[in-house]
Each structure stands twice: as structure tokens, then as C-alpha cells.
Amino acid sequence: MRSINHLVWLSLLLASCTSTAPPAPAESSVSNPTIAAPTQPVEAPAEPFPAPVDIMPGATAAQLRTQIEAQQIELDILLVDYTEHHPSARIVAKRLAALKAQLSRMSPEQVADAAGWVPKILQQHEVYLPDFSFAGYQWGEITPKTNATQIIDVTDFGAIANDRQDDSDAIIAALDYADTVPGAVIVSFPSGLFTVNRIIAIERSHIVLRGQGSSGQSATTLYMPQALRDLAQSEQEQHNVPNLISNNLRATDNNTSPVSWKGGFIWTRTDTLAHHSPLQGQAIKGEQGGHSLHIEGAAGFSIGQTIMLNWCDTGCERASFTHHLMGNTNTPLGTAFANHHGLVKQYLTITQVNGTSIQVKEPLLHDVKPQWKVSFSQPQFLTEVGFEDFRVEFPTLPYAGHHKERGYNGLFLTELKHSWVKNVTVVNADSAFLVDKSANVTLDEIRASGRQGHYSMTITNSNYVLAQRFSFTAPSLHTPAVGWNAELNVYSGGTVRSAKFNLHRGLNQQNLFDNIAVQLSGINDLFTGAGNPASGPLAAAYTTYWNIRTQGNPRGMIDVESPEMRLVGLTNSAPIGLAFNFKAYVEGLNQEGVEPSSLYRYQLAQRKH
């Protein structure tokens, strides 16, 4: 519900303002699914800040810009669930306009004084900074768009909006028919509510599930009244739900729910049993951040082929590789890896083949040396899969507890490459967005709201996943999160309420949290630990935080169990401190106005030009 937490969030963002918005009405629940009546316009209260009175007297241009950004974020959050006529939305919009008006009245000299600062890390080469610009659909170089001309309407197969009857069989029949259609295809849903009691599995490339919107009167809502573990036994067995985590050697104990971090009602996967298979040969030479690989004993590579590079396979000289992996520090690997081969995995796209060498599109995660036994695998992916303009909603029920989840999981995106999610909202989930074994997936304008859960979003075993323009307002235990073997992924340009940034061990590394506005209760909520300590430090080297703007109690000092982090432009509503023994590259702590505001956008622009 939007009640106390909502007002706390508003008050934190509007600390300099004297008036507080009234509490918004409770979110509608579809535990007994109905379609809400159209929202009627509500007269706005009297203008609380008559122009041209400054609502932040004496504020600098930089302070005004920070408040303008905070107001815009809060307005965006409100407009997820309400129209612009809602009283809270109208009051925030008026404050936003008043702040912009105050900024516009400033002299050029006052505005110039607010010019941003450029971090030194961008002007040197001694301190390693990963290149994150390859994240996203088609490496961020073009906007996701289907070329499909075939449109399949689920209502032609018996789905009926708003009738409170199960539409699962009709939706699956439409998908089965789509599998027979050559070329790209769109499976279309009209506006309204559709009830789903089965798993919607996507097992082909070049397909888009498209609704009519994720909020408002035109929204398409997929309502899932049951959890994965409550589905018919035959349905669970068909999708191997009972064994999702027991088949995963990283399970912490036998009592862990099999759907705690896997499975979803919308579920992508290939039709192969193994995600990747070994290829002949080894890589023997390469440089971290470079694009050239010298190979030995390999043949049959082709331009455009996606391969997986596996560092530290059987026979690896582990001590020296671990030292390199941890940023040339003595951070221990973790006992869980004692018998684990292929410690680090990276998806690469071949751009040139020249006898005993190949060129790859993406920058190498690490150096390549003969003694580190770097092998090749062939991964399998679906491509050009899209999800657009709909809402997934679960009943408003209490959270069952950590690792006890019943499986109210939204999208489980596995084995995808060059695919996307656009304008999708998930409400009341255990886990809203789970991304695994994927590469170059863009999640744009995604939202997770409602009651407490496990994850709003997490990324595992994946590279170059981009989440941008996101809003995570559900109080999840871990969000935004990266876990096992997540590398070179990016969260950029979003907002997180009740944040619990999570580095979930398992050698996640070189991930970017970028240009994010955050509400938190303590500063180390930016670096929360989870997972078994046997699985190594919270992250391996070069996790990067860039322009993270927080509101909340800076309780405690930054002290993170992760080597060689990069913290640039981290600010809070009150000053942040560093623990004495915290070892990392830190620049611009408590200093507003870092330029560029987004490292991802900056690196992408540099590469494209």
C-alpha cells in the first residue's frame, strides 16, 4: 500500500519543502480480479507555492537540479499507478514546476557556478575502469524493434478479457500456432485482464509478446492467481519446477524453495538440454579489455559466431589467476570453488578469423595466458525475443519468507541474446525479473511494485544485460542485484525505493550501477551481502558505482567485502564516510554534479564516435 512508506519517501525527496502531499489511496488489488473504473479527474488543491516565491530560498543551481530530478522521479513513480489528475501527482507536478521556475530565474553566473566536475579516472589509464558500453540489445547501438508482419491475436484462440475465466489454454494455443509460423511474429493481447494458471513458455526466436500498455485504462494485465508451486503437478513436472534448484549445485540447503531465484510464469529457454557444449582448442594469449585472442588447436570458427570463453579450466594455475581476478589483491577465492572448473565465463562475438587468432566484439574480462587454461564452449540462445506493454499481477498476499517463496515470479529470462523487455510492470511478486544465462538483453521502462519479495530484479550467469529507466518500489530483500557469474552488466538511469543493492557472491564482477536515485535506511544498503561466504567475496574486482544519489540515514561507514571497487560521485542527503580499511578507488564522495552523469552513456557515445 502507498501509506507510511510512500510519505517517508516523499518527505526525504522534499526535505527542503514545507508542505507534504496527502497519502495516496491504496493500490488496487486483483485478488478477486476486476477491472478498475476509469479514474475521474480530481480538482487540485490551491497552489501551495505562488510564483515567483522561491520554494528553496538561497539554494544553488546544483541543489535545485538535484531536487528537480528527485521530483521528476517521484512524479514518474506516481504515474505508474495513477493518472496525472490524482491529487498527489498534481501536487508533485506543481512543486516540480515551481523548482524549474526558480532555476530559470537564476542569472547565467549563478547557473555557471553549478557546472559539473569531471572525474580524474576518465583522464588516465593507470586505474583500470571496465568498458561497460557493450551492454544492451545489439550492444546498445540500435533500439530494439521487431520486423514482424505476422500478428496473432490471442482472442482468436478463445482468450476473453475481463471474464474472470482461465485464459491459459487459449494463450498457449496461440503460442503453439506461432511456433508454426515462419519468420518473425507478434502475439498480441488487447486491453483488459487475462487470467493465467499455466506457465507461458517461449521456446523460439523472433517472437514478441505485446499488450496495449502497463498502466491506465488501456493496460493489458496478465493476472496469475496461483504460485508456481501451487500449479497442477503435471504442469510443474513439465517445466521441472520441483528440481530447479536441486539441479543447481549452488543450492544452500535442502529446505530452499526450488523457485527462490529460478522459474517464472513467463519463461524463455532453448529446446536443448545443455546451455553450452565444449569446443576444441584453447585461448593462449589476450589482454584484459582487449579484443584479440591467440588460439591453439581450434578450428571452424566463423564471423558472427557467439562463443563462451572459460577461464581457469582443468589444470589451471589457480593462485596466480585468483590474484588477477581479485584485482591483484590477496582476496581468497572461496571454498565452494575447490572443485569448480571454468571459474569465469564470458560470451564473445567473433568479428574476424585470422588463422591462429580471432578478433571479438566485446572487451575481454581478463588477461589470457597458457597456464590459466582458457577453453571454448558453444552456447545456445534464442534471439530477437521481445516483451512489450503489459502488466503482470499477483494477489496481494504476505511474503512467505526468504528461501520459502511459493513462486509468484514474473519473467524468467534465460538463454536469450539480443532480446528486450519494454514497458512491463510486475506487481506483488516474489521475484519480478530474473535474468540468467543471457547476453545483450535490454530491459527498458520496467517496474516492480507492491508487497515485499525476494528480488525486484537480479542478473546471474549473464553478460551485457542493460536495465534502464527502471522503477523498483517494492521493498525487496535484494534489489538491484547481481549474482553468480554476472559480468559487465549495467543498471542505469532508474530509481529504487527501500533499496538493498546486492552483490550476491559467486564471482560476480565488473558490473555497473549507474546514475540511480535511491532511498535507503543505511549507507551499506548499497552494498548488502548475501549468499554463502564459502562462495567468495561479495564480488570480484571492479564493481563500479557511478553517480548514485541517495536519500536516507547514512548510518555506518562504507566497508565492503569486495576488492578494487570503483565509487565515483556517490552522494547522500547527509555526508557519507569510509571505513579506515576500505580499499577501493573513490572519487567525488559527497560531491554533487559528476559529469558525465551516466558512465554507460558516456562510454557508449565514445565508442560510437
Q: Of 556, 586, 552, which is closest to residue 570 (Cα–Cα)?
A: 586
User: Looking at the domain assignment, is residue 574 inside a domain?
Assistant: no
Domain termination site, one of 76, 92, 112? 112
DSSP-derived 3-state class of residue 523: helix
Q: Of 485, 463, 285, 465, which is closest to residue 366 (Cα–Cα)?
A: 285
Instruction: Please name the amino acid found at residue 452.
Output: Q
- What is the average pLDDT across 270-274? 81
User: Looking at the domain assignment, is residue 504 inside a domain?
Assistant: no
**Residue 96 and residue 570: Cα distance in Å, rounded?**
24
- Beta strands in 154-297, from DSSP E residues, in sequence order: 185-188, 192-195, 200-202, 207-210, 220-223, 266-268, 276-285, 292-296
Let me know whether 268 and 220 are in one domain. yes
User: Looking at the domain assignment, is residue 193 inside a domain?
Assistant: yes
**For residue 573, what pLDDT is reported?**
81
**Residue-wise pLDDT tens digits, 312-327:** 999 999 999 999 999 9
316, 385 in Cβ contact below 8 A?
no
pLDDT at 42 over 80: no
Let me know whether 174 and 71 are in one domain. no
- What is the average pLDDT across 59-78? 74
Going by pLDDT thresholds of 50, 70 and 90, the confidence category of residue 338 is: confident
**For residue 104, what pLDDT is reported?**
83
Mean residue pLDDT across the chain: 87
DSSP summary character for residue 393: E
pTM for the whole thing? 0.84
140, 466 in Cβ contact below 8 A?
yes
378, 279 in Cβ contact below 8 A?
yes
**For residue 371, what pLDDT is reported?**
98
Higher pLDDT, 179 or 111: 179
pLDDT at 32 over 60: no
**For residue 443, what pLDDT is reported?**
98
Let me know whether 337 and 389 are in one domain. no
**For residue 40, what pLDDT is reported?**
39
For the chain, what percent of residues have pLDDT higher than 70?
Answer: 86
**Residue 483 and residue 426: Cα distance in Å, rounded?**
21
User: Cα separations (Å) of 597 from 139, 370, 551, 603?
Assistant: 20, 40, 18, 11
**For residue 501, what pLDDT is reported?**
87
- What is the average pLDDT across 523-549? 88
User: Cα separations (Å) of 567 from 14, 313, 369, 418, 530?
Assistant: 26, 32, 30, 29, 20
**Residue-wise pLDDT tens digits, 488-511:** 999 999 999 888 888 999 999 999
46 Cβ contact partners less than 8 Å away, ≥ 6 residues apart: none
342 Cβ contact partners less than 8 Å away, ≥ 6 residues apart: 310, 311, 312, 313, 375
Which residues, listed in sequence order, are joined to residue 267 by a DSSP beta bridge?
201, 412
> How buried is residue 220: exposed, middle or buried, by Cβ count under 10 Å (0-12/13-18/19+)?
buried
Q: Of 197, 186, 198, which is closest to residue 154 (Cα–Cα)?
A: 186
User: Looking at the domain assignment, is residue 531 inside a domain?
Assistant: no
- What is the average pLDDT across 518-537? 81
Going by pLDDT thresholds of 50, 70 and 90, the confidence category of residue 101 is: confident
**509's grid cell:** 564482477
Let me know whether 267 and 149 are in one domain. yes
**For residue 505, what pLDDT is reported?**
92
Number of H helices, E strands in the chain: 8, 32
**Residue-wise pLDDT tens digits, 394-435:** 999 999 999 899 999 999 999 999 999 999 999 999 999 999
Higher pLDDT, 223 or 42: 223
**For residue 41, what pLDDT is reported?**
40
For the chain, what percent of residues have pLDDT higher than 90?
Answer: 62
**Residue found under cell 555497473:** 512
User: Cα separations (Å) of 221 from 155, 156, 213, 352, 477?
Assistant: 14, 18, 9, 45, 25
Let me know whether 280 and 367 are in one domain. yes
What is the number of other CB atoms lying within 10 angstroms of the CB of residue 206?
19
Let me know whether 363 and 481 are in one domain. no
pLDDT at 244 over 90: no
**For residue 238, what pLDDT is reported?**
86
Let me know whether 292 and 392 are in one domain. no
Domain termination site, one of 462, 487, 512? 487
Let me know whether 190 and 42 are in one domain. no
User: Looking at the domain assignment, is residue 266 inside a domain?
Assistant: yes
pLDDT at 74 over 80: no
- Dihedral angle over CA of 90, 448, 201, 275, nearest 10: 140
User: Looking at the domain assignment, is residue 524 inside a domain?
Assistant: no
- Contacts by residues 90-93 (CB-CB < 8 Å, ≥ 24 positions apart): 90/42, 90/44, 90/45, 91/19, 91/21, 91/22, 91/44, 91/45, 91/48, 92/10, 92/21
Let me know whether 354 and 437 are in one domain. no
244, 261 in Cβ contact below 8 A?
no
DSSP summary character for residue 114: T
Residues 45, 51, 55, 60, CA torsion sign: positive
Let me know whether 107 and 13 are in one domain. yes
Going by pLDDT thresholds of 50, 70 and 90, the confidence category of residue 529 is: confident
Mean pLDDT is highest, among 93-97, 235-239, 282-286, for: 282-286
**408's grid cell:** 509468484
**Residue 415 and residue 439: Cα distance in Å, rounded?**
8
Going by pLDDT thresholds of 50, 70 and 90, the confidence category of residue 76 is: low
Let me know whether 306 and 424 are in one domain. no
**Residue-wise pLDDT tens digits, 120-162:** 999 998 999 999 999 999 999 999 988 888 999 999 999 999 9
User: Looking at the domain assignment, is residue 586 inside a domain?
Assistant: no
Going by pLDDT thresholds of 50, 70 and 90, the confidence category of residue 100 is: confident
533 Cβ contact partners less than 8 Å away, ≥ 6 residues apart: 334, 505
**Residue-wise pLDDT tens digits, 148-200:** 889 999 999 999 999 999 999 999 999 999 999 999 999 999 999 999 999 99
**For residue 81, what pLDDT is reported?**
64
pLDDT at 29 over 70: no
Let me know whether 80 and 150 are in one domain. no
pLDDT at 5 over 60: no
255, 238 in Cβ contact below 8 A?
no
- What is the average pLDDT across 284-296? 97
- What is the average pLDDT across 437-454? 97
**Residue 241 and residue 246: Cα distance in Å, rounded?**
10
**39's grid cell:** 479514474
| CATH number of the domain that residue 482 is part of | 2.160.20.10
**For residue 2, what pLDDT is reported?**
38
Structurally, the chain folds into a number of domains equal to 3
User: Looking at the domain assignment, is residue 493 inside a domain?
Assistant: no
**For residue 26, what pLDDT is reported?**
38
Give DSSP secondary structure letters for 308-329: EEEES-TT--HHHHHHHHTTSS
Going by pLDDT thresholds of 50, 70 and 90, the confidence category of residue 102 is: confident
Structural domain harbouring 43? 4-112
**Residue-wise pLDDT tens digits, 366-404:** 999 999 999 999 999 999 999 999 999 999 999 999 989
Domain termination site, one of 466, 487, 508? 487
Which residues, listed in sequence order, are joined to residue 136 by a DSSP beta bridge?
none
